[in-house]
Structure 1
Amino acid sequence: MQNILDNSALAAWRNFITAHAALIERIDGDLVAAECVPLSWYDVLIELQEAPERRLRMSDLASRVVLSRSTLTHLVERLEDQGLVRRERSAHDRRGAYAVLTDQGHAALRRAWPIYAQGIADHFSRHLSAGEVATMTAALERILGALRGTP
């Protein structure tokens, strides 16, 4: 088999995925220790917070949080049970459903944000110079653009 990766590209990839997993685990642990919503819940809630009218079609929400539709459906059920989200049927498309952020969900986000921000600062950004942040941002934007078919 022909080697299509050089050692430095492979090392960058392995460090990226390992650092990502470790960061997510650490920040999620910080949120749980502070008795906030777990990070997977936060990711759903923040997407709804930033959406027009604090609502998204379930399929769009699944794409934004990079979850399968079935996984998202189960997660939204748990969020709904906690009063953080409600689901609404589409008035125009009977098959379509929306997830809508509730006031309680908004409050949960506000409570979790300082813990999340501190985790990002402590476990990620303090280890990078301003130049490294700029380089990393540009590189990841280029990769995401290529994957999404946008410049």
Structure 2
Amino acid sequence: MSKEPEEYVVDAWIALLRGKEHALDHVEKSFKKNGLPPFFWYDVLWELDKAGEKGLRPYEIEQGMLLPQYGLSRLLARMDKAGYVERTPSPVDGRGQQVTITKQGSETRKNMWEVYAKGIQSTIGDNFNEEECRTIHKLLTRLHRQKA
């Protein structure tokens, strides 16, 4: 096992987690203020919008999401009830489901993006220049490309 992390490593870890929480909290509050669904809904709608008419199986949605969603089946049920997604039996095997975005879901995702884009700009774009943003991207990309 490796040695204890240096203080500067712990400081970077804390800043990373606090930055994530601040950014997500800011966007989540903006969605609520504008009468829009929560962030997790955007994440699902975005994945489905990218997939187009063919839709995705629930496990494919989860693989593409920005944040883990442990109750994805319950979330999809709520989104189906709200009219944002449609769940149908999978053409591959009748046991699974295929999920597609509805017209209402696509319109809602576009409305959410308007708010989300402003949140990204105010938390990242207004605080860092282009070079700093590219550095952040480069550094953090190394984290998520690591083997667990």
TM-score normalised by structure 1 residue count = 0.89
- Please give the alpha-carbon distance, in whole angstroms, between the structure 1 residues aligned to 2:75 and 2:12: 32
State the one-letter code of the partner of 2:45.
L
State the one-letter code of the partner of 1:113.
W
Structure 1 residue 43: deviation in Å? 0.8
Per the alignment, do residues 133 and 73 of structure 1 end up closer, same or farther by CA in structure 2, a change over 3 Å counting?
same
Match of 2:124 in 1: 124
Per the alignment, do residues 103 and 2 of structure 1 end up closer, same or farther by CA in structure 2, a change over 3 Å counting?
closer
- Please give the alpha-carbon distance, in whole angstroms, between the structure 2 residues aligned to 1:139 and 1:93: 41
Question: Secondary structure of 1:127's match?
Answer: coil
Root-mean-square deviation over aligned CA pairs:
1.8
1:87 matched to 2:114: no
State the one-letter code of the partner of 2:81.
D
Match of 2:115 in 1: 115
1:67 matched to 2:69: yes
Q: Which runs of 5+ in 1 are unaligned?
A: none
Answer whether contact 2:52 2:100 (CA < 8 A) is retained: no
Identity %: 25
How many pairs are equivalent?
Answer: 146
- Please give the alpha-carbon distance, in whole angstroms, between the structure 2 residues aligned to 1:139 and 1:2: 21
State the one-letter code of the partner of 2:108.
A
Match of 1:98 in 2: 98
After superposing on structure 2, the runs of 4+ consecutive aligned residues of structure 1 that deviate more than 4 Å are: none
Question: Secondary structure of 2:137's match?
Answer: helix
Q: Which runs of 5+ in 2 are unaligned?
A: none
Answer whether contact 1:62 1:72 (CA < 8 A) is retained: yes
State the one-letter code of the partner of 2:94.
R
Answer whether contact 2:40 2:69 (CA < 8 A) is retained: no
Per the alignment, do residues 130 and 54 of structure 1 end up closer, same or farther by CA in structure 2, a change over 3 Å counting?
farther
State the one-letter code of the partner of 2:60.
D
Match of 1:12 in 2: 12
- Please give the alpha-carbon distance, in whole angstroms, between the structure 2 residues aligned to 1:75 and 1:147: 29
TM-score normalised by structure 2 residue count = 0.90
Question: Secondary structure of 1:138's match?
Answer: helix
Structure 1 residue 140: deviation in Å? 1.6
State the one-letter code of the partner of 1:67.
Q
Answer whether contact 2:85 2:105 (CA < 8 A) is retained: yes
CA shift digits 1:83-125 (9 cap, x unpaired)? 0001111122122212110000001011111111011111222
State the one-letter code of the partner of 1:120.
I
